[in-house]
Amino acid sequence: MYEILGKRLLNSHEIYQMEVHAPWISLSGKPGQFVIVIPHPNGERVPLTISDIVYQRQSVVLVFQVVGDTTRQLADMHVGDDLYTIVGPLGHPSELLALSPSPSRLLFVAGGVGIAPVFPQVKWAFRQGIPTDVIIGARSKDLLFYEDELRAVCHNLHIMTDDGSYGEQGLVTAKVDELCSKGVAYSHCVAIGPLPMMKFVSLTTKKYDLPTIVSLNCMMVDGTGMCGACRVRVGDEVKFCCVDGPEFDGHLVDFDEAARKLKTPDARRYRIATAESGHRCNLAPAVEAAVAEARQRQRPQEQDPAVRAANFDEVSFGLTEHQAILEAGRCLQCKKPRCVEACPVGIDIPRFIQNIREENFNQAYITITHDSALPAVCGRVCPQETQCEGSCVMGAKGEPIAIGALERFVADNHRAQSKPQSQCYPAGRKVAVIGSGPSGLTCAGDLAKHGYQVTVFEALHHAGGVLVYGIPEFRLPKQKVVEPEIENLQRLGVEIRTNVIIGKSITIDQLFSDMEYDAVYIASGAGLPKFMGVPGETLIGVISANELLTRTNLMHGYDERYDTPIYLGRKVVVVGGGNVAMDAARTALRLGSEVTVVYRRGEADMPARREEVHHAKEEGVQFLFQTAPVEVIGSDDGYVRALRCVKMELGEPDSNGRRKFSPIAGSDMNIEADTVVAALGTSPNPLIRTTTPGLECHPWGGIVADEDGRTSRPLIFAGGDAVSGAATVILAMGAGRKAARAIIAALEQ
């Protein structure tokens, strides 16, 4: 069950390294923690500190020295053998992980087998970008190990031997004294090794007021500490190394008492007791709690609702690296992943999650972007609960994997680390893309990667389409997320021309005849707003969600430094139940209005993402369900005064699964309002269809196109909302990707 995957002798003093398959421990183990190993059913319980985790193999690396019967049994085992059991992770993680702010520079001191537990902490510091100096010491050269491993992850490695057989001759305390006396500004020291070494390192650092953490795993490595023998005095308190530690403040530990405890018959008695039949470790509940925590869905921190309701900063801070690895570890890696089938662009979700588990974040990004051009966007705004996460088998008895949050983590991590992309080798083909929203950008990127010369024409003054004008900053930051994606396309050679209205500035036929494009992809979206169709909707103060969001997101109507102010008044009513309605309501709230959302169906029927509804409620938006508008009431001077509504009665679901509704007689009510916002969907703008002869369109305005974007006109392709009507970002991206493949196939026949 716990297979030994690897084993090697580290030095001539019988110090061994052993890699053991232990999925749950590899999922939740952290630097500083330990495990209990039982080699066979009748074996002793031996505490061993985790020296590393190999995420791609779901294994832990342990280091031990042969000092008794049980460690001899471990040393005699071979690769392919199974340990009887491993329990863990136990103890508290290294205190370094919880320090805030992060340490500025760290000093690590290790001796003997203590080198092993120091290694994962140095490795952690290296990944955090924290400078480290490491001192390792032993009586002689043949007792040392992990020299190369430590050099790879620390800034300076100092080696001390008592006999001078390697490195510098002397004790590790001499090097500690030397470095501290030179004024090196360490924020913390970590010392792990034999008790005398940790004692004198702590005495040395105390002279320099350098906070020092010691790990008393040596109280347990020889099997003395599981059920009481590991007690140690720390300041005025008695602590248990196994439960309260293994790390403590080195300036408070009573090392002399600890040393005496290791030599007493009492320790031997406790050691034997742990091997008796029926013995139960009191740490089992702690282990079970740790495992249960690891199985829970990880949730990113968010701005406090009361704070965020008054700003436009992003609500969610995203998963931390540690959370992402934990969440990735929850994935069952299904052989027939339904999440992939439910993803409109077919991302290999299990693979990128496995990449995260292995901490190979760059490969995770490569996996995602093989199918998705805008992972940072989709991770934030896609309706995962009805797509990939809605199909996750983990959701059947618990919570599905947070696929969207993991996708966002990968994209954000890559953006922070990535280097500019180079321009692709030209293939001699020219393609015009109309619209710079998610569908247009995806198609342009794929074509550019194939070597095509691509020009994107955008009607507005800023590229990004709905990503820029439609989705608020608090959901999708423009400078942080959208602009870098556009800049990446430009580095690939994509040209973006703003303020060009196809159908007005130039027609599609002129793109072919005058500008000599080989193909055209129409991704102009669906930006024509729909209204309520009730009396009074032409009153001053009735606006579309498109207008509110565009004036706020694109034109910064909330910012006094811009000349595009927007005044909504004290009370705003938003009509609709989709994501756009939630965006409009939460935007109006941030502009200082009291906001009520009116929706004709029940809350469960709302097409908006559950997270958006939840956030809106948290922030103070009020909801009236099963309520429909019948008239906008105005004042004598033509301004909105109220919205008259009627309560609705829901019946049985129709053929599409949505319930029919009808008004309840006598349920009329007036809702006071200064502004009424219609968030009832959009349709394609008629400019292109009315200026492109032979382009077949639906009666409602959408362009007729097949699954790959081919239209009734040769070499004219279309996709996204211009074909389907208002839909999701991921569906638009999927259409852009399919169209790019179809364009390449058509031009290279």
Rg (CA), the chain: 32
Q: Which domains does the chain have, with CATH numbers?
A: 95-264 (3.40.50.80), 305-417 (1.10.1060.10), 430-527+683-747 (3.50.50.60), 531-680 (3.50.50.60)
Q: Say what the pLDDT of residue 243 is.
A: 72
Residue pLDDT, tens place only, 77-108: 999 999 988 877 888 888 888 887 778 899 99
User: Identity (one letter) of the amino acid at 671?
Assistant: I
Q: Say what the pLDDT of residue 648 is.
A: 93
Q: Which long-range contacts (CB under 8 A, 24 or more apart) does 70-77 make?
A: 70/39, 70/43, 70/44, 70/46, 70/223, 71/46, 73/39, 73/40, 73/43, 74/16, 74/18, 74/37, 74/39, 74/46, 75/14, 75/16, 77/4, 77/7, 77/18, 77/39
The pLDDT-based confidence of 420 (bands split at 50, 70, 90) is low
Token reading at 413: 């991590």
The pLDDT-based confidence of 424 (bands split at 50, 70, 90) is low
User: What's the burial of 642, exposed, middle or buried (CB within 10 Å: 0-12/13-18/19+)?
Assistant: buried
pTM: 0.61
Q: What are phi and psi of 483, to 5 degrees?
A: -60, -40
DSSP 329: H
Q: Say what the pLDDT of residue 652 is.
A: 79
Residue pLDDT, tens place only, 3-18: 999 999 998 888 999 9
Q: Which of these, 66, 55, 62, lies nearest to 19 by C-alpha position?
A: 62
Q: Is the pLDDT of residue 265 over 70?
A: no
Q: Is the pLDDT of residue 192 over 70?
A: yes
Q: Say what the pLDDT of residue 691 is.
A: 92
The pLDDT-based confidence of 29 (bands split at 50, 70, 90) is confident
Residue pLDDT, tens place only, 592-601: 999 999 999 9
CA distance 314 to 308: 8
